[in-house]
Structure 1
């Protein structure tokens, strides 16, 4: 069989101890649920072929294309603060890499593709619900402009997987700049394998941060760039109300992308203590904790690089500490820039962060919806006649009124007029996010009734999140009390 997929797997050219070579486990009756045709075309792949029988067979793991060198990558990781020296791809196979139409090398991975040496007695499979959740959430994040892995396709397998009940099986084909994680470095650091650390760091520099190779201290430059990428990423999460749910070090991408969507969700009512993940019983990865945890994860990354930074332990530690310490100001800068845009501030003043935090405080005290509050502020920014829509979101509308007085004084010092400001704010404050009750509803329709029409409609709405869509305005509504979904699950 000739497969028109131009694979070239550079990771497979690293030493054998970096991975286990094996192919996906075939499935009984693959059926295409959805193909991301635009993404496929951007990767230089033929969408029509992928949607055909041979392409669906590839997406399900039944066919390995020529040029692919499928593998399951080895890595370690801190899981809820506890170090596990070997994790690895337990239900995913990196089929290969392609160079997309922009010249960027991208991984193509099949998630749910069967057991590997890293499965730890698991079946290596994925249920349909978590596959659809990752498809929706990752594509919504891409549309919001946040760095993320992408969903190429979802395929059902014609088989059942067993969790607490029998569920339809599925495979997610996903695309990433790479799947190199903090945990990948930790795997070799735990073994004291400095040669592997150097090879991995050189590979990461070549693939993601080639300018670091020109530095006098390339491994310190790598650390600094990963710190900067993660600071910018987590700031963007907070500015849209996103909660990753499982910020373990094995879920932190060196490329600065959002990766491994499990029990993730977007907030409805603003509360920095919000947790959705059923396995996060103590709130370690709550919304408001994400910057602190990101810096903690980066400190673990810095530890792995110590043997590469300097021959002097004291100098290496000093370099690592300085690089990790830079996270906080970088995060604050990125977060404040996003917050200013959300508030309609095109210029910078010293009190802007306090103004934004005051709004968040009264939102929390009044259980105001995060996304709707900022979206309706766009109308209020055009003129006081828009205030009523925001006031209705607050248990005590006077709390908003008191905050808005200071906001309007600040806006009076801005150069833009009301209409221009409102337009700019609508580009920073989405109308539509993948609200958890909507995501669960499309999963239930697909799993219980094999009805994928709600899934398709939700994806269509989320593909254009910053534009008002009157025909689908109800998708912006927060859940009714009986619709609220308070716990999400990772699906393993």
Structure 2
């Protein structure tokens, strides 16, 4: 049976130095770990019944007919420092498909070196592939805009990191892989013609009603403000909010040293390389403003009156904190059952978060318990909670649908770090059953009746993950 993907590769048809064409590097003895049949059906992909065929095609050994593999180029601010050339150092965009829901990229990750590998081997080891598969699909189930996982393939080749590790290839699906850093690359090089080509393409794909760079910037600001506050409402820390990991589509992408918090701490950092807390949980709202300022700067060369554009774009960036506060209030008010938030709800939310922080309360479990009426058990200072609870209940008298609002805003399960690490350890030993069990359990995160009670417990002290790693 032949795998059929109905490719329509618009990015590959663009003029200018936006990418390098090259095939993935084959791997030895590829074996299928997981394939997302439901997503494949949504994408119009057929011929998916044979695991051997899927493994060969989605390892990069035999790309499907119609694929036009390429590696995209981009720049980026990484931890505040500008890198003028980054790009897909271990990924190949196979092409795109068009569905009733829109146009989607299909990309292999860990598929071999490219001209943008910067001395890297172009490979991924098994752990990050399984982490991205699990977390991206969990984010989709949680209702967060995100790239998706179509397949994970184990290779017979070892990848050398701190030690030899089993290799793997992820097949990722995204609305596109166009990043803030993609615009930065051409703006920094003063390649205005290519920058305009990129703008026209991005506008048509992601903001068809935008009548110019200012409107594209405004649309991206709205998407990213909504996305980041949605992360925060779920206790999610991206870990590396560099401009090369910030999309124009408004999707979460590049799940490297990401994590969901266990105990609530606004200063929590998981990434082993984020020693200054630049991308800490609460800092994410500030960083997205910074990232959008970099996009604004990259769009200035497209404006007829650049001086006027700088003034206007600066005003848009300065308005972002108010937008983020509004989005944050909406997200966290819903977690308290408040569908129509007021300004005075901010302190009410803040007081609960303060109690959670002081007592080390589990973020997800506390809000789930709030939905169930048992949150007092999650708070160390019971007397302070009782006082807060009385004021909260008084506020809910004006919210007739509070229970339904909370149930829709407060998941029961998240992909917890210690569970993911256990899955990876088992898979390294050749046992993929824990991966499949965890993946299935994360599919219904808001369902109180789902058989996932084993996943709800916060980690024991000896299970806590203190740092996560990119693993590239």
TM-score band, normalised by the shorter chain? over 0.9
- Deviation readout 1:6-50 (Å, 9 max, x if unpaired): 11211111124111100100111110000011001100002634x
Map of 2:87 onto structure 1: 88
Map of 1:56 onto structure 2: 55
**Secondary structure of the corresponding residue to residue 342 of structure 2:** coil
TM alignment of 1:317-328, pairs within 5 A: 317-328=310-321
**Secondary structure of the corresponding residue to residue 28 of structure 2:** coil
Distance 1:260 1:52 in 2: 26
TM alignment of 1:323-334, pairs within 5 A: 323-334=316-327
Cα 1:398–1:256 shift into 2, 3 Å: same
Map of 2:42 onto structure 1: 42
Q: How many pairs does the alignment contain?
A: 472
- Deviation readout 1:210-230 (Å, 9 max, x if unpaired): 011xx3xx1110000001100
- Deviation readout 1:346-396 (Å, 9 max, x if unpaired): 23333111111111111111111111111111122xxxxxxxx32222222
Map of 2:347 onto structure 1: 354
- Deviation readout 1:41-81 (Å, 9 max, x if unpaired): 100002634x4322221100011222221100000000000
Distance 2:316 2:424 in 1: 42
**Secondary structure of the corresponding residue to residue 83 of structure 1:** strand
Map of 1:384 onto structure 2: none
TM alignment of 1:125-164, pairs within 5 A: 125-164=123-162
TM alignment of 1:19-418, pairs within 5 A: 19-46=19-46, 48-49=48-49, 51-100=50-99, 102-212=100-210, 215=211, 218-309=212-303, 311-380=304-373, 389-414=374-399, 416=400
> Is 1:482 aligned with 2:462?
yes
Structure 1 stretches of 4+ with a deviation exceeding 4 A read: none
**Secondary structure of the corresponding residue to residue 273 of structure 1:** coil
Residue pair 1:41, 1:47 contacting (<8 A) in 2 also:
no
Q: TM-score, normalised by structure 2?
A: 0.98
- Deviation readout 1:181-207 (Å, 9 max, x if unpaired): 000001101101111111101000001
- Deviation readout 1:83-120 (Å, 9 max, x if unpaired): 000000000000000112x2411000000000000001
1:424 to 405, 415, 440: 405
Between stretches 320-329 and 432-441, larger displacement belongs to 320-329
CA RMSD, aligned part only? 1.3
Residue pair 1:263, 1:276 contacting (<8 A) in 2 also:
yes
Distance 2:3 2:150 in 1: 17
- Deviation readout 1:235-279 (Å, 9 max, x if unpaired): 100000000000000000110000000000000111000000001
Give unpaired runs (5+ residues) of structure 1: 381-388
Residue pair 1:2, 1:66 contacting (<8 A) in 2 also:
no
Distance 2:111 2:341 in 1: 50
Q: TM-score, normalised by structure 1?
A: 0.94
Give unpaired runs (5+ residues) of structure 2: none
Distance 2:90 2:7 in 1: 21
Shift of 1:3: 4.7
Map of 1:385 onto structure 2: none
